[in-house]
DNA sequence: GTGAAAGCGCTAACAG
DNA sequence: CTGTTAGCGCTTTCAC
């Protein structure tokens, strides 16, 4: 044991002794209980500050079996801003509330997910934001039932509100492409096993239907998110005899991979192929021409998640939040090539 | 109080009673103390598992005044992968150790930083990784002296090991540019008030000197990181009569801004201007031509930070880790324009 | 309004 | 090897 022995920490007992009052009074004063003579309360608080008193959160959490001292944030992946940046943003917002955020990564592994969520429960977190893994276990659902939970990006069918992106902009993209004259449109997106994968595919199909194109005519390739197998899908799609004249991508990591593969294919945008990707327009604007992008406001997503969680911990039972995605038209969308 | 009353949690006392042993024995068995009859230990563990026992981390932390149950991770910004992705990655690695990571964001505000670090101390974290704010307060340094700390990206001169990127590749970039014939080279990087800003500037100057170019002849613009004021700096540099024939950027967020501004300027790369940016080559490869990039291996950085922290908590006093950055030559670097 | 005392759930001496 | 007994530092009845 590397022994951080007893440091010279001051505790409530010290404060109480030094002020000639009881620990109960100190505690009350420090927690703003109205039932302490204001004058005394102020003296206690001042003294606490002077002595550099910092309450031990474990003792506090242990004693008052409820506190919003900690919350959990559970995400599957680390290497996409859709998760890690939103998590960080959320930590920022929660800290304003004096709440510490414990971040855990499941790597989309149901087993780890269960372990981590169990550990969070063991920490008596006041609640948690969770982006469920694809094959969430029954035991995990069970655990989640026991405390305030907010789902995020993905839903796993438990009775908890969530913050999701409404990906209709993907549908708008398809509609727009059809309007431009495209008939053979490819879609590469995350697996439908993930709730948002399913939602995005649905949006794309709806967009086609809305423009009068048979959704079943779409060339669809669904992949695990956060893999760069997008390249393979692109090559496959573009080497068909009736290759699509337009491609829509429904995921951030996939989009990067697809953009690179398309670039490698030598096709001209938008002359030979139209392309709409998913993610941060600022980055995709590096491309020449700037890519048309479906984007979602991550900071806002984080804000809503944080607020929803705090509401829920506070007992308010709010409903889902659906954040509208936006279609930014760049230079990569145009009419299909004449011969097509 | 939103009252998560007493849920039907099982505790050591329950296990002890049900098994007809003492809580001490249960505790020992559960913590793998060798001084329990193996047969009994196994029975206890099995029973604990069957009952779905999960130890209350607060009680544990409170009792054994040392534990690696929690660590802190303190970063200034949320919107750059240099921080948020590394933090997430670190959380992933630490969880394998059963350690929960509390993430906090200072927004580079010394006051918040102090508050947050004080709160982490109040949580009795076993240690923390911290990327200090620019104007860190004396009180904060004081606090950091009291527990195992690993510095990250930035150093604040306390006596704690750190994980840094060795940005000599920035110097290599400059050397290379000089070798290509460039004499007027601009550098846009993070303020020297930040330790890594200073280090990068030094690397750039060293690179110039190594190639026989007077470091003082560099056109240097230092900015706050994570702002997009890069655009202004670019316009200013490129509108001078003796505008640089090459530009090197020493920060991720700055790089994006600079790349966009250069693009807007209409200058051809590398014909009119050579450009070397800082960040993820995969993203900057979207640019046409693909930008030459100085990059650093963030996952590895996270790995080293996690390991260093655990070592340090374990009592090992290891030294700094310097991770070598790499220069990826893309298509944005070439000889200066003939007339220059 | 304030104090005394009983825990929160666990670990760690100290005995046996 | 195992049980008894104190706490860890705080909150919270319950009296006064």
For B273-297, the pLDDT digits (tens) are 999 999 999 999 999 999 999 999 9
Q: What is the pLDDT of residue B100?
A: 95
Q: What percent of chain B has pLDDT over 90?
A: 71
The residue ranking higher by pLDDT, A63 or B324, is: B324
Helix A230-238 × helix A252-265 angle, to 10°: 40
Q: How confident is the model at residue A199 (pLDDT cuts 50, 70, 90)?
A: very high
**What is the rounded CA–CA span in Å between residue A265 and residue A260?**
9
Q: Residue A215: pLDDT above 50?
A: yes
- Amino acid whose CA is nearest the C1' of D2: B25
Q: In chain B, which residues have their Cβ closer than 8 Å to the Cβ of A282?
A: 256, 260
Chain B: residue whose CA lies nearest to A105: B92
A 96-115 residues inside an 8 A Cβ radius of B: 98, 100-105, 107, 112
Q: Residue B185: pLDDT above 50?
A: yes
**What is the rounded CA–CA span in Å between residue B340 and residue B330?**
22
Q: Which of B58, B91, B285 sits opposite A104 (nearest CB)?
A: B91
Give the residue from B95, B124, B280 with the most A CB atoms within 10 Å of its CB, the best one to mutate: B95
Q: What is the pLDDT of residue B1?
A: 28
Q: Residue B127: pLDDT above 70?
A: yes
Q: Residue A5: pLDDT above 60?
A: no
For A289-307, the pLDDT digits (tens) are 999 999 999 999 999 999 9
- What does each C-alpha distance from A292 to A26, A102, A149, A188 come to in angstroms? 60, 36, 35, 15
Q: Residue B103: pLDDT above 60?
A: yes
Which residues 6+ apart lie within 8 Å of B254 measured at CB?
B188, B189, B190, B223, B225, B227, B228, B230, B278
Q: Residue A168: pLDDT above 70?
A: yes
- If one counts every other C-beta atom within 10 angstroms of the C-beta of residue B109, the result is 15
Q: Residue A83: pLDDT above 70?
A: yes
**What is the rounded CA–CA span in Å between residue A100 and residue B163?**
24
For B235-270, the pLDDT digits (tens) are 999 988 889 999 999 999 999 999 999 999 999 999
Residue for token digits 């908590």?
A: B313
Q: What is the pLDDT of residue A225?
A: 72
Predicted TM-score (pTM) of this structure: 0.92
> Separation of CA A63 and C1' D12 in angstroms?
9
Q: How far does A51 lie from chain B, in Å, by closest CA?
A: 13
Distance of CA A48 to the CA centre of its chain: 39
In this structure, is the CB of residue A42 within 7 Å of any atom belonging to strand C?
no
Q: What is the pLDDT of residue B5?
A: 35
Give the residue from B78, B263, B280 with the most A CB atoms within 10 Å of its CB, the best one to mutate: B78
Q: Minimum mean pLDDT among A216-220, B19-23, B174-178, B223-227: which range? A: B223-227
> Separation of CA B36 and C1' D1 in angstroms?
6
- Mean pLDDT value of segment A140-158: 92
Question: b/e for B178-202, b at 16 or more Cβ within 10 A?
Answer: bebebebbbbbbbeeebbbbbbbbb
> Separation of CA A25 and C1' D12 in angstroms?
11
Which residues 6+ apart lie within 8 Å of A339 measured at CB?
none
Which residues 6+ apart lie within 8 Å of B93 measured at CB?
B302, B303, B306, B307
> Separation of CA A32 and C1' D9 in angstroms?
18
Q: How confident is the model at residue B96 (pLDDT cuts 50, 70, 90)?
A: confident
Candidates B201, B188, B326, B335; CA nearest to B258 is B188
Output the six-digit token pair for B11: 């505790």
Q: What is the pLDDT of residue A7?
A: 52
Parse chain B into domains and list their residue ranges: 12-63, 68-165+299-322, 167-296
- Mean pLDDT value of segment A88-112: 94
For B24-46, the pLDDT digits (tens) are 999 999 988 888 899 999 999 99
Q: How confident is the model at residue B3 (pLDDT cuts 50, 70, 90)?
A: very low
Q: Residue B4: pLDDT above 60?
A: no
Q: In chain B, which residues have their Cβ closer than 8 Å to the Cβ of A299?
A: 79
> Separation of CA A213 and C1' C4 in angstroms?
78
- How many Cα atoms within 13 Å fall on the side-chain side of residue B81? 19
Q: How confident is the model at residue A122 (pLDDT cuts 50, 70, 90)?
A: confident
Q: What is the pLDDT of residue A63?
A: 86
Are A132 and A155 in contact, with CB atoms under 8 Å apart?
Answer: yes
Task: Check B104 against A103: CB less than 8 A apart.
Answer: no
Q: What is the pLDDT of residue B326?
A: 96
Q: Which of A1, A146, A263 sits opposite B7 (nearest CB)?
A: A146
Q: What is the pLDDT of residue B7?
A: 52
Query: What is B167-296's CATH topology?
Result: Rossmann fold (3.40.50)
Q: What is the pLDDT of residue A273?
A: 97
Q: What is the pLDDT of residue B154?
A: 93
Q: What is the pLDDT of residue B52?
A: 85
Are B314 and B329 in contact, with CB atoms under 8 Å apart?
Answer: no
Are A101 and A71 in contact, with CB atoms under 8 Å apart?
Answer: yes
- Which SS3 state, helix, strand or coil, does residue B74 take? strand
- Amino acid whose CA is nearest the C1' of D5: B24
Tally C-beta pairs within 8 A across A and B: 186
Using the Cβ of B227 and the Cβ atoms of chain A, whether some distance falls under 8 Å is answered with no
Phi-psi category of residue B162: left, alpha or beta, with phi > 0 → left and psi -120 to 50 → alpha = beta
Q: In chain A, which residues have their Cβ closer than 8 Å to the Cβ of B102?
A: 70, 100-103
Candidates B210, B255, B262; CA nearest to B236 is B262
Q: How far does A57 lie from chain B, in Å, by closest CA?
A: 5
Q: Would you give the DSSP letter of residue A129?
A: E
- Mean pLDDT value of segment A321-325: 95
Query: In CATH, which superfamily holds the domain spanning B12-63?
Result: lambda repressor-like DNA-binding domains (1.10.260.40)
Q: How confident is the model at residue A6 (pLDDT cuts 50, 70, 90)?
A: very low
Task: Check A2 against B148: CB less than 8 A apart.
Answer: yes
Q: How confident is the model at residue A310 (pLDDT cuts 50, 70, 90)?
A: very high
Give the residue from A88, A107, A309 with the most B CB atoms within 10 Å of its CB, the best one to mutate: A88
Phi, psi for B211 (deg, rounded to 5): -95, 5
Task: Check B85 against A104: CB less than 8 A apart.
Answer: no
- What does each C-alpha distance from A19 to A8, A24, B25, B234, B322 come to in angstroms? 18, 12, 41, 61, 50
> Separation of CA B59 and C1' D10 in angstroms?
12
Q: What is the pLDDT of residue B9?
A: 77
Q: Which of B88, B147, B284 sits opposite A84 (nearest CB)?
A: B88
Q: In chain B, which residues have their Cβ closer than 8 Å to the Cβ of A315?
A: 2
Q: What is the pLDDT of residue B124?
A: 87
- Mean pLDDT value of segment A174-190: 97
Residue for token digits 């998640």?
A: A305
**What is the rounded CA–CA span in Å between residue A29 and residue A36?**
6
B 51-90 residues inside an 8 A Cβ radius of A: 54-59, 61-62, 65-66, 70, 73, 75, 78-79, 81, 83-85, 87-89
B 163-202 residues inside an 8 A Cβ radius of A: none
Q: In chain B, which residues have their Cβ closer than 8 Å to the Cβ of A102?
A: 70, 100-103
Query: What is B68-165+299-322's CATH topology?
Result: Rossmann fold (3.40.50)
Segment holding A45, helix H or strand E = helix A38-50
Residues whose beta carbon sits under 7 Å from strand D = A 6, 9, 11-13, 23-24, 26-28, 30-31, 53, 55-56, 59-60, 62-64; B 1, 20-25, 28, 35-37, 40-41, 59, 62-63, 65
Q: What is the pLDDT of residue A8?
A: 62
A73 DSSP β-pair partners: A103, A129
**What is the rounded CA–CA span in Å between residue A261 and residue A82?**
22
Q: How confident is the model at residue A288 (pLDDT cuts 50, 70, 90)?
A: very high
Distance of CA A228 to the CA centre of its chain: 20
Q: Would you give the DSSP letter of residue B339?
A: T
Question: b/e for B56-71, b at 16 or more Cβ within 10 A?
Answer: bbbbbbbeebebbbbb
- What average pLDDT does chain B have? 91
- Mean pLDDT value of segment A131-146: 91
Q: What is the pLDDT of residue B231?
A: 86
Are A128 and A74 in contact, with CB atoms under 8 Å apart?
Answer: yes
**What is the rounded CA–CA span in Å between residue B174 and residue B276?**
9
- Mean pLDDT value of segment B148-163: 94
Output the six-digit token pair for A109: 């592994």
Strand B100-105, strand A100-105: pairing: antiparallel
Candidates B148, B120, B150, B114; CA nearest to B133 is B114
Cα Rg of chain B (Å, integer): 26
Residues 55-74 of A with CB under 7 A from strand C: 59, 62-63, 65
How does DSSP assign B29-41, residue by residue?
Answer: HHTT-SSS-HHHH
Q: How confident is the model at residue B186 (pLDDT cuts 50, 70, 90)?
A: very high
Task: Let me know if A317 is exposed, middle or buried by CB neighbors in 10 A (0-12, 13-18, 19+).
Answer: exposed
Q: What is the pLDDT of residue A4?
A: 32
Chain B: residue whose CA lies nearest to A298: B79
Q: Which of A3, A83, A285 sits opposite B66 (nearest CB)?
A: A3
Chain B: residue whose CA lies nearest to A260: B286
Q: How far does A2 lie from chain B, in Å, by closest CA?
A: 6
Q: Residue A272: pLDDT above 90?
A: yes
Q: How far does B229 lie from chain A, in Å, by closest CA?
A: 15
Task: Check B95 against A104: CB less than 8 A apart.
Answer: yes
> Do A12-63 and A68-165+299-322 share a fold?
no
Q: Residue A1: pLDDT above 70?
A: no
B 265-324 residues inside an 8 A Cβ radius of A: 282-288, 299, 313-315
**What is the rounded CA–CA span in Å between residue A102 and residue A57?**
14
């Amino acid at each position: 044991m590397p022994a951080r022995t007893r440091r010279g920490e001051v505790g409530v007992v010290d404060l109480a002794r030094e002020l000639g009052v009881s620990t109960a009074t100190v505690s009350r004063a420090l927690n703003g209980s109205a039932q302490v003579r204001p004058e005394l309360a102020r003296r206690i608080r001042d003294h606490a500050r002077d002595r550099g008193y910092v309450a031990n959160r474990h003792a506090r959490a242990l004693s008052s079996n409820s506190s919003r001292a900690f919350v959990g944030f559970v995400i599957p992946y680390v290497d996409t801003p859709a998760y890690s940046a939103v998590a960080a943003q959320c930590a920022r917002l929660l800290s304003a509330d004096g709440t510490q955020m414990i971040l855990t990564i499941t790597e989309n592994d149901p087993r780890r997910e269960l372990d981590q969520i169990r550990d969070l429960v063991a920490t008596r977190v006041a609640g948690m934001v969770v982006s469920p893994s694809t094959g969430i276990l029954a035991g995990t659902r069970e655990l989640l039932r026991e405390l305030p939970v907010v789902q995020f990006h993905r839903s796993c069918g438990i009775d908890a509100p969530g913050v999701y992106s409404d990906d209709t902009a993907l549908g708008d993209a398809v509609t727009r492409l059809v309007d431009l004259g495209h008939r053979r449109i490819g879609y590469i997106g995350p697996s439908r096993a993930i709730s948002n994968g399913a939602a995005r595919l649905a949006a794309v199909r709806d967009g086609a239907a809305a423009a009068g194109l048979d959704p079943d005519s779409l060339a669809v390739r669904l992949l695990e998110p956060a893999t760069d197998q997008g390249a393979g899908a692109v090559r496959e799609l573009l080497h068909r005899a009736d290759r699509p004249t337009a491609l829509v991508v429904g995921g951030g990591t996939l989009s990067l991979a697809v953009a690179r593969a398309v670039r490698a294919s030598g096709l001209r945008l938008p002359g030979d192929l139209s392309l709409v990707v998913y993610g941060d327009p600022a980055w995709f604007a590096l491309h020449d021409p700037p890519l048309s992008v479906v984007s979602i406001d991550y900071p806002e997503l984080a804000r809503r998640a944080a607020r929803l969680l705090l509401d829920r911990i506070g007992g308010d039972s709010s409903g889902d939040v659906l954040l509208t995605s936006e279609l930014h038209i760049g230079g990569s969308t145009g009419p299909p090539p004449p011969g097509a």
